Structure 1
C-alpha cells in the first residue's frame, strides 16, 4: 500500500475501535514504521532490485511487534507501569499497533512473513497504487466512519 493509504486506513481503524483521536495519531505514526526501518529504495536499478529482495522481510515480521506489545501489557499488568504512567505507555503501544496494521494491510496487496521471517504469505487482492487499492482504502474508511458515527449515536 502507499503510505497515505496506510496512514488513513490505520488511523481510521484505531479511531473506529477506540474513539480516541490521540491513539489514532500514535497508530498513524506506526503505520509507516516497517517501511521506514527499511530505508528509502535506491534510485539505481541494480541496487533497487537488491533492496527489493529484502523488502517486507524482518521489518514486516509481526512477531517482534507482538512481543513488544505483550511486554508493555505485562509490565502494566504486574504494576511496573502504574496508572499514572499508563498514558505514556499508550504511545509505544499504539505505534506498535499501527505497525501491525501496516503488516496486515501489506498482506492484502502482497506477501509478508508470518511465523518465520523467511516465509511470506499474503492475499494480493489488489496491487500497490492501483484503482483497487484506493477503492479498498476509501471504502473501508467510509464503512469505519459510519460504524463509529452510528455507535456514537446509539450511545447518546
Structure 2
C-alpha cells in the first residue's frame, strides 16, 4: 500500500474502534514508520527488518499499561507527560503493526524470519493500482457503516 492508503485505513480503523482522535492519530503516524525507517536503503531492504511484526509486538508489550485501551482525551491530558508518551508510543507501534497487516494483503511480508518474505494472505491488489484505491474507498465505506451501528 502507499503511505496515503496506510494513513487512511489505519485512521479509519482505530477511530471507529476507539472513537478517540489521539489514538487514531498516534496509530496513523505509526502506520508510516515501517516504510520511513528504511531510509536510503529502501530498494535493497524494503519489507525486511522494518516490516517484521515481532519487533512491533515487543514494543507493544513494553509500552502496555492496563489503561491503554480505555483512555479518554481528558485522561491523557491529566495523566502527565510520561503517561501521555507511553500511550502515544503504544498506539504508534500498533499503527506500525497495522501497516504490516495492510502490506500483507498486497504482497509478501516477513513472517518467521525478518529477511525472508512470505505470502500470508492472498494478494488483493498491486501497490499504487486502481485496485488499491477502490479497496481503500470500500474499506472506508464499511468503516462508516460500522461506526453507525456501534
- TM beyond 0.5: yes
Q: Deviations over 1:70-110 (max 9, x none)?
A: 1112xx35xxxxx8354432100111011011111111111
- C-alpha separation in 1, matches of 2:46 and 2:39: 10
Residue aligning to 2:21 = 21
1:9-56 Cα deviation digits (max 9, x unpaired): 001001111111121111110111000001156xxxxxxxxx423110
SS of residue paired to 1:116: coil
Larger Rg: 1
Shift of residue 142, structure 1, vs aligned partner: 1.1
In 2: Cα distance, 1:127 partner to 1:35 partner: 16
- Structure 2 Cα separation of the partners of residues 87 and 149 of structure 1: 29
| RMSD value, Cα | 1.7
For residue 72 of structure 1, the aligned residue among 63, 80, 90 is 63
Residue of structure 1 equivalent to 2:103: 106
In structure 2, list runs of 5 or more residues that go unmatched: 67-74
Q: Which residue of 1 is the match for residue 49 of structure 2? A: 58
Structure 1 gaps, min length 5: 42-50, 78-82, 152-156
Please tell me whether residue 89 in structure 1 is matched to residue 86 in structure 2: yes
How many aligned residue pairs are there? 135
Scaled by the length of structure 2, the TM-score of the pair is 0.83
Matched, 1:145 2:144: yes
Task: Map Cα deviations across residues 109-156 of structure 1 (whole Å, 9 max, x no partner).
Answer: 1111012112212332210111111111111111012111221xxxxx
- Inter-partner Cα distance in structure 2 for 1:128 and 1:69: 27
Q: Which residue of 1 aligns with 2:69?
A: none
